[in-house]
Amino acid sequence: MTDFTLDIYRTLLETLQAKGYRLISYREYVITRSRDLDEKFVILRHDVDAKPLNSLRTAQIEHALGAKATYYFRCGKESNNPEIIRAIVQLGHEIGYHYEDMSLCGGDPEKAYDHFKTWLDYFRQYYAVETICMHGAPTSQYDSKDLWKHYNYKDLNILGEPYFDTDFSDVFYLTDTGRCWDGYKVSVRDKIPGYQEEWTKKGLSWHTTPQLIRAIEADQLPKHVMMTTHPQRWTNDPKAWYLELVMQTTKNIIKRLWIKN
């Protein structure tokens, strides 16, 4: 089965369900604080960096399987598409704000906070947003999480931000950053410092989706997981698939050079 297609994404979810994992949104995780639960779950987090139509496709697959996911939308046109946001809400998923206000406002916290509040209100027209998630913006010198050194998102009735409100001593983190499952090696901001080394030592590291599926089948995946995917990478269209492969391979080479410096 070809990697990074919608078909293999569906198979991945079906494999998790067959192994007894409940597929939940980030909001559900924050509300239940499932640390002591015996139940197995995977938080389905999607960062809609671009190509929002692809997110509708994964949302439909999840809906058909009875799964709930969270879709984090950016304010820019490359991500923010009202029709698609509405359609994903209709499918019963959670919507959140994929914020990058510090990098958009040149690192000025006051401006960034106003910008953040404006866009939070915008997304709240479509869905009662209760969770937010930083967009990594690897080419920006600003880390948008730094906004929370000056302000508190809980004042805006936000319950959670995956980077701050996930108990990573209990929840294992998987991300398709770099268009593979071990891209933390080349990621600038999408990684969990302190825990990643430990997970790698335990052998919890896979490169391709077929390898990840085999690990799930062999009961090697921890019982509590957050899985971040960027739906723009997942497509059944051969031309778009090939373009994504070439672009991501180039990006990984550049990121590797940055990290070494």
Enumerate binding residues for Zn ion (CB under 5 A): 47, 49, 135
Strands of the chain, DSSP E: 22-24, 41-48, 70-73, 94-99, 132-134, 172-175, 224-229
Give me the least distance between CB of 135 and Zn ion, in Å please: 4
Residue with smaller CB distance to Zn ion, 3 or 49: 49
For 55, the token pair is 């997110």
Compute the C-alpha angle 17/126/14, nearest 5°.
10
Cα–Cα dist 81/51, whole Å: 9
Give me the least distance between CB of 28 and Zn ion, in Å please: 21
Residue with smaller CB distance to Zn ion, 192 or 216: 192
Residue with smaller CB distance to Zn ion, 57 or 189: 189
**3-state SS, residue 202:** coil
Residue with smaller CB distance to Zn ion, 47 or 62: 47
**3-state SS, residue 133:** strand
Give me the least distance between CB of 190 and Zn ion, in Å please: 8
Q: What are phi and psi of 165, to 5 degrees?
A: -110, 15
Paired residues of 96 in beta bridges: 72
Q: What are phi and psi of 216, to 5 degrees?
A: -65, -45
Residue with smaller CB distance to Zn ion, 135 or 233: 135
Give me the least distance between CB of 227 and Zn ion, in Å please: 15
For 63, the token pair is 């809906």
For 96, the token pair is 């959140």
Inter-axis angle of helices 82-90 and 52-64, nearest 10: 10
Cα–Cα dist 159/117, whole Å: 15
Residue with smaller CB distance to Zn ion, 27 or 135: 135
Residue with smaller CB distance to Zn ion, 97 or 168: 97
Which of 162, 212, 211 lies closest to 189 in space, CA to CA? 162
Give me the least distance between CB of 230 and Zn ion, in Å please: 7
Give me the least distance between CB of 240 and Zn ion, in Å please: 19
Give me the least distance between CB of 133 and Zn ion, in Å please: 8
